[in-house]
Structure 1
Amino acid sequence: MSARKVMLITGASGGIGADLARVGAVKGHDLALVARNRAALDALADEIAALPGQKNPRPLVFDLDLSQKDAAKSLAAALDEAGASPNILVNNAGYGALGPAAEGDLAEQLGMIDLNIRALTELSLIFAPKLSETKGRLLNVASIVSFMPGPGMAIYYASKAYVLSFTEALSVEFAPRGVSVTALCPGATPTGFQRRARFSDRMQKQVFVGALTSPEVARIGYDGMMAGKRVVIPGLLNKLMIRAMTFIPKPAILALVGSLQLRRADKEAS
């Protein structure tokens, strides 16, 4: 009996991950959802199973903290036990924290590296043979901050720079396998990320002026992945900003981003 081919999505309990699951379901993909929040995953799985015309079985649900050691191996074993194998992998799980790195909680900062970098890397490599078997697709969720250093959110910005660099390199290495690899680089998007990063309601209102919604980002990311694009930057303003940065000296970028983020951190601390 052949394995159940699934679109495997991490960080699927909310935000862009959940919306990518909704897009995938509408497009006819069988799904496997991963996050820490079992209740949110079950609610999403039930929502998808109840979609009109849904022909696939209820999505598989795995409540795992991917920042923990051996979580990726545990996920691979759980998929095998369920008789499932990913033909699409979406590495979406991640978080950020506002404030100077040396003043933040060390465990939280290192946990960011574990989730945003190590887990994404491990999952990409563990499932590479499965993706190769089906000429599948890999979507890693980076950010527009991948293109710049970020004083005030130093580790988060650096982690997303890694995701972009790693993904672009894999797009070349995986091409002979027939696997397309895409980095999705959204700008500020209204999700639970900002609350987790300790952005105030006031800050979120400022950040989200003109921002795309999570469903819009998910649709653009899905379409870019299916088109085999290497990098997807949703939104014209985000594209223009990244293009303009190539003409701005690095000290000026550091000063601008640092002034903005550190001022935000100071306001939140006061």
Structure 2
Amino acid sequence: MTKTALITGAASGLGYELSLLLANDGYNLILIDINNDNLQNAKTDIEKSFNCQVSVLKKDLSKPNVAIEIMDEINDAPIDVLVNNAGFGLFGTFANTEWERESEMLHVHILTTTHLTKLVLDGMIKRGSGKILNMSSLAAFQPGPLMSIYYASKAYLLSFSEAIANELKGTGVTVTALCPGPTKTEFQKVVSNNTSENKISFNMACPSKVAQYGYSAMKKGKTVAIPGIVNKFLSTIHRFVSRRMATQIVRNIQEKNRDV
């Protein structure tokens, strides 16, 4: 029986790359994104290349209760793989950034992701199988001055994923947190041009390779996946320096590159 995967933020970047991998493995796809044009293009491209059914839903994941809307529109169809990929960044000091945009970020990264996971998880547990991939970040491992809410929300996703992965042992359902470093996607277009995410190129990863790494980790049931040797080292920096120093290091990087 053909299985179904639901992917948020699927119209471009890592979401699109993960959709290609799922289609290649024979999954029917439900693609969700706020950009309808990109969604339609993704649907057309995937259906041309793979023998699978592709459904698309244009949704603003920053809106309250959008997870319920999604499940209603797909008629509570069984979801075998859930990829919570949607997200964006925001650069600036917390005192000066716009609350409306920050609230949208918290809804997308935390509330909608958590709610959608909860709604999909019930069916997975009953069927005794399922895989969930949550898009966290290398940012999850330390505080991030000048991108404070982004870093904090990614830390939530990492902690949440690790916790429920432990709870789900023995159920046949696995949860994986993918924690990439800077990756060449449309993320860089959304975040302020001042952020160091847009300045540092030495560790900029290819989205297809990051997606392949995360997809492989998900299939193996690995809980935390950090692509790249440099990123693996950076994720452990708190073992060698105090949290205060790690926080200042991030601040220094952001400050150094904001006016480049």
TM-score band, normalised by shorter chain = over 0.9
Per the TM alignment, residue 263 of structure 1 is displaced from its structure 2 partner at its CA by: 4.4
- Hey, what does 1:169 align to over in structure 2? 163
- Pairing of 1:144-223 with structure 2 (within 5 A): 144-199=138-193, 206-223=199-216
Give the conservation status (yes or no) of the 8 Å contact 1:20–1:219. Answer: yes
Give the conservation status (yes or no) of the 8 Å contact 1:189–1:208. Answer: no
Per the TM alignment, residue 13 of structure 1 is displaced from its structure 2 partner at its CA by: 1.4
Give the conservation status (yes or no) of the 8 Å contact 2:134–2:161. Answer: yes
- Hey, what does 1:90 align to over in structure 2? 83
- Hey, what does 1:13 align to over in structure 2? 11
- Hey, what does 2:237 align to over in structure 1? 244
Per the TM alignment, residue 196 of structure 1 is displaced from its structure 2 partner at its CA by: 0.4
Distance 1:264 1:86 in 2: 42
Give the residue type in structure 2 aligned to 1:63: K
Distance 1:158 1:106 in 2: 15
- Pairing of 1:121-160 with structure 2 (within 5 A): 121-132=114-125, 133-160=127-154
Give the conservation status (yes or no) of the 8 Å contact 1:79–1:85. Answer: no
- Pairing of 1:14-53 with structure 2 (within 5 A): 14-51=12-49
Distance 1:219 1:110 in 2: 31
Distance 1:88 1:117 in 2: 19
- Hey, what does 1:63 align to over in structure 2? 58
Per the TM alignment, residue 55 of structure 1 is displaced from its structure 2 partner at its CA by: 2.4
Per the TM alignment, residue 6 of structure 1 is displaced from its structure 2 partner at its CA by: 1.1
Give the conservation status (yes or no) of the 8 Å contact 2:3–2:26. Answer: no
- Pairing of 1:74-85 with structure 2 (within 5 A): 74-80=69-75, 84-85=77-78
Q: 1:204–1:115: structure 2 CA closer, same or farther, 3 Å change rule?
A: closer
**TM-score normalized by the length of structure 2:** 0.94
Per the TM alignment, residue 204 of structure 1 is displaced from its structure 2 partner at its CA by: 5.6
Per the TM alignment, residue 243 of structure 1 is displaced from its structure 2 partner at its CA by: 2.5
Give the residue type in structure 2 aligned to 1:227: K
Distance 1:203 1:251 in 2: 20
Per the TM alignment, residue 205 of structure 1 is displaced from its structure 2 partner at its CA by: 5.9
Give the residue type in structure 2 aligned to 1:147: F
Give the residue type in structure 1 aligned to 2:183: T
Give the conservation status (yes or no) of the 8 Å contact 2:199–2:257. Answer: no
Indicate the percent of aligned positions where both proteins have the same amino acid: 34
**TM-score normalized by the length of structure 1:** 0.91
CA-to-partner distance for each residue in 1:32-81, whole Å, 9 max, x for gaps? Answer: 10011111011111101011xx3222x11000011101110000011117
Q: Which runs of 5+ in 2 are unaligned?
A: none
Cα RMSD for the two superposed structures: 1.8
Give the residue type in structure 2 aligned to 1:244: I
Give the conservation status (yes or no) of the 8 Å contact 1:35–1:65. Answer: yes
Distance 2:241 2:184 in 1: 28
Q: 1:134–1:35: structure 2 CA closer, same or farther, 3 Å change rule?
A: farther
Per the TM alignment, residue 244 of structure 1 is displaced from its structure 2 partner at its CA by: 3.4
1:107 correspondence with 2:105: no
Give the conservation status (yes or no) of the 8 Å contact 1:98–1:261. Answer: no
User: Which of 167-176 and 213-222 deviates more?
Assistant: 167-176
Q: Which runs of 5+ in 1 are unaligned?
A: none
Give the residue type in structure 2 aligned to 1:72: A
CA-to-partner distance for each residue in 1:120-155, whole Å, 9 max, x for gaps? Answer: 110110111122225010000000010000010000
Q: 1:225–1:209: structure 2 CA closer, same or farther, 3 Å change rule?
A: same
Give the residue type in structure 2 aligned to 1:127: V
